[in-house]
Amino acid sequence: MSTQKTYDITIVGGGIVGTASAYKLQLKYPSLKILLIEKEEKLAAHQTGNNSGVIHSGLYYKPGSLKAKNCVDGRHQLVAFAKKYKVKHEVCGKVVAAVDENELPFLNKIFNNGLANNTESIEKINTNQLKDIEPHVKSIGGIWVPCTGIIDFKGTTETLAELVIAHQPKSKIVLGEEVLNYVHGSETSQVITAKNRYTTKHMIFCGGLQADRLAKKDNVTLNERVVGFRGDYYNLTEKAKTKVRNLIYPVPNPAFPFLGVHFTRMVNGDVECGPNAVLTFKREGYGKTDFDLRDTMNALSYSGTWNLLKNHTGFALNEYRRAFSKRRFLKTLQRLIPTLTMSDIEPGRAGVRAMLLKEDGTMQDDFRIEYNDKSIHVLNAPSPAATACLAIGDKICEMATKHFSLK
């Protein structure tokens, strides 16, 4: 174990939020020496690299919330960034399709949210208009959202990291080193990994699925706990891909913080359908039977987990059944595209999302970023954090300027 040179800021976590924060700080303060540490052997290994790859529009989020503000601002920045640096993407648009009359009130609500959030060019469309856009969808109408897109979030993250080093060669991206501990001194802190010890003046934590553990280790007062939800995807077969032109979303159930099972054309040409949402027994486990004793005990010893399950027992049971039943998953998909058959879908990948859960079983819905002594902690950054990453980076840069007295 060796002692390295002193860095001005160390960022823990090499997902898209951590890397975008490093990029924004390096742009504003070119002379800063920034260290970014990622425990995996590659960037974007967890939430960033295993989401649906959608550039979100800002349609769903409560007006005035951090999600709403950062999603719209971040989307504009992200698309401009992708164009400038040739990151694979496409602003292709999506439909939100209503199937039942009882969905119309919430469809109207999210449409009004979109207007309040300055989601440009959205419009209500009738059955025939929706069928012109997505011919295989059965609906009673919906919303056309032309500014929604698809992007390679892994490629975006890698490009951001390359630009950090291009702007300041004395900055460093470290892969394959898990941060085990950190000790704050009067002027600097020691960041200890299994391989090295780094000296830094300030720290920023963007730990995603490990955010609460990193915060508690840093003596942040946190009553909530991160609980992981796995989402499984299916892929449409080559033949069935023709049934989806771009992106097709259901009207989300307002009782749950998920957007529902949707269809997404990916930048590589694949079409994914999903995800479901099931409590996972391993925070960074992507298989249906993955298990980690510490993560399981952490979730099941927490009152918030049991209150969540008690409040939404029917939903939870249905999601678990669907996770292990292709036929049940297909039935959900057929609600939007009735002509899909069992032979049209094949098992795909999975992702795990971090949700900051309160003791009463409700979820911290909005982004949450806090300052603590020498550190900034991103405590909650669920979807649309990837879309909003550059706007979140601006917010973190602003906080660092204030609290770290950067010049």
Domain co-membership, 340 together with 370: no
Domain co-membership, 347 together with 261: yes
Closest to 331 measured CA to CA, from 397, 273, 398: 273
Task: Supply the CATH number for residue 272's domain.
Answer: 3.30.9
Q: Is residue 65 part of a domain?
A: no
Domain co-membership, 265 together with 169: no
Q: Which domain holds residue 277?
A: 225-357
Task: Supply the CATH number for residue 384's domain.
Answer: 3.50.50.60
Domain co-membership, 242 together with 384: no
Q: What is the pLDDT of residue 4?
A: 61
Domain co-membership, 309 together with 374: no
Per DSSP, what are the bridge partners of residue 90? 150
Answer for the pair 151, 53: CB distance below 8 angstroms, yes or no. yes
Q: Is residue 138 part of a domain?
A: no
Q: Is residue 120 part of a domain?
A: no
* Residue ranges with strand state E in 130-222: 142-145, 149-151, 172-175, 179-184, 189-193, 196-205
Instruction: Please classify residue 327 by burial: count the beta carbons closer than 10 Å to its beta carbon, then call 0-12 exposed, 13-18 middle and 19+ buried.
Output: exposed
Q: What is the pLDDT of residue 314?
A: 87
Taken as a whole, the chain contains a residue count of: 407
| Dist. CA 299–CA 279, nearest whole Å | 9
| Dist. CA 368–CA 66, nearest whole Å | 8
Q: Is residue 119 part of a domain?
A: no
Domain co-membership, 216 together with 230: no
Q: Is residue 204 part of a domain?
A: yes
Answer for the pair 379, 80: CB distance below 8 angstroms, yes or no. no
Q: How far is CA 167 from CA 30, 31, 311, in A?
A: 7, 9, 50
Domain co-membership, 179 together with 43: yes
| Dist. CA 114–CA 229, nearest whole Å | 27
Q: Phi and psi dihedrals of 106, rounded to 5?
A: -75, -30
Domain co-membership, 194 together with 243: no
| Dist. CA 17–CA 205, nearest whole Å | 10
How many structural domains comprise the chain?
A: 2
Domain co-membership, 229 together with 323: yes
Q: Is residue 377 part of a domain?
A: yes
Ranges of the chain whose pLDDT falls below 50 = 1-3
Which token pair is 86?
A: 């040739």
Domain co-membership, 42 together with 163: yes
| Dist. CA 157–CA 18, nearest whole Å | 9
Last residue of a domain, one of 319, 340, 357: 357
What confidence tens digit (pLDDT) does each residue in 127-176 have?
Answer: 999 999 999 999 999 999 999 999 999 999 999 999 999 999 999 999 99
Q: What is the pLDDT of residue 106?
A: 95
Q: Is residue 322 part of a domain?
A: yes
Which token pair is 64?
A: 């005035």
Q: Is residue 310 part of a domain?
A: yes
Domain co-membership, 40 together with 159: yes
Domain co-membership, 310 together with 382: no
